[in-house]
Amino acid sequence: MSGIRIILGTSIIMVLIGYLIIQFNPGLNLKSDSVADLNMVDNFQLSNNIESENLINASSIIIEDMVLGDPNAPVTIIEYASFTCPHCKNFHEGTFKKLKKNYIDEGKVKFILRDVYFDRYGLWAAMVARCDNSEKFYGIVEEIFRRQAEWTKGEEDIQIANNLRKIGLSIGMNSDTIDACLSDGDMAQALVNVYQKNADKDKISSTPSFIINGEKMKKSTYDEFVDKIDEHLKGY
């Protein structure tokens, strides 16, 4: 049975790879330490090049913001991040943990992560993170960033996809559920559509980028966050 499950899982992932290779150009270099620039989005074949039937299917899918913390918190932080961005990984392993402990867990801040897709690998990671009705979203996000150097290694797309699949399995996600998520082409297109809309609206040009109560931050050190958050908390 385990052999059959592996074969089926690999077949589903191959379907996903085939779909996304048609939609997108080959992935970008994941080893760069520079801040990714959204000019790279020109390498994608975006929604205006997709068949109308696919657009209709994707438009019926509602992509909700994933909220961490009290939904009624007085301060909202929105992060635009790519799962293949090394600087985003650094933020989540450092500054984010302090913000979570001192502000998010205290009910002062609600945090929203919005995906940015520079390459198909980042999109696949987002599809795994949002799998299983998103109940484990931020736990999966933490693992994807923590193991970024590990799962982005691979000479072929199938290896990258299987690496992400293993991350989902390692934190208790169901194998069949992961396979279903990774083969959902309509969801993939819907995620890309929402990414385009949000990034255009907020004029996002690099990752990670942050918006606090509608104001884009120029710097993203912990001290800068503290100053901005405390400023918005005055009067509460």
**Where is pLDDT greater, at 235 or 130?**
130
β-bridge mates for residue 110, sequence order = 76
Residue 9 has a pLDDT of: 43
Distance CA 229, CA 224 (A): 9
Residue-wise pLDDT for 11-55, tens only, equals: 444 444 444 443 443 333 323 232 233 333 333 333 333 344 444
Residues of the chain with pLDDT > 90, as a percent, come to 57
Reduced to 3 states, what is the DSSP secondary structure of residue 216? strand
Distance CA 152, CA 56 (A): 32
Distance CA 20, CA 18 (A): 6
* Mean pLDDT to the nearest integer, 150-155: 90
Residue 57 has a pLDDT of: 53
Reduced to 3 states, what is the DSSP secondary structure of residue 75? strand
Residue 35 has a pLDDT of: 29
Query: Would the pLDDT of 6 be above 50?
Result: no
**Both tokens of residue 43?**
């390498």
The alpha carbon torsion through 123, 138, 162, 10 (nearest 10 deg) reads: -80
Residue 125 has a pLDDT of: 96
* Mean pLDDT to the nearest integer, 181-205: 92
Say what angle helices 2-23 and 120-129 make with each other, to 10 degrees. 130
Residue 158 has a pLDDT of: 87
Residue-wise pLDDT for 155-182, tens only, equals: 788 899 899 999 999 988 888 888 889 8
> What structural domains does the chain harbor?
2-233 (3.40.30.10)
Distance CA 209, CA 220 (A): 8
* Mean pLDDT to the nearest integer, 172-193: 90
Query: Would the pLDDT of 97 be above 90?
Result: yes
Residue 24 has a pLDDT of: 41
Q: What is the DSSP letter of 35?
A: P
Q: What is the CA radius of gyration of the chain?
A: 18
The owner of tokens 């502000």 is 103
Taking a C-beta distance cutoff of 8 angstroms, is the pair 167, 146 a contact? Answer: no
Reduced to 3 states, what is the DSSP secondary structure of residue 90? helix
**Where is pLDDT greater, at 37 or 102?**
102
pTM of the model: 0.78
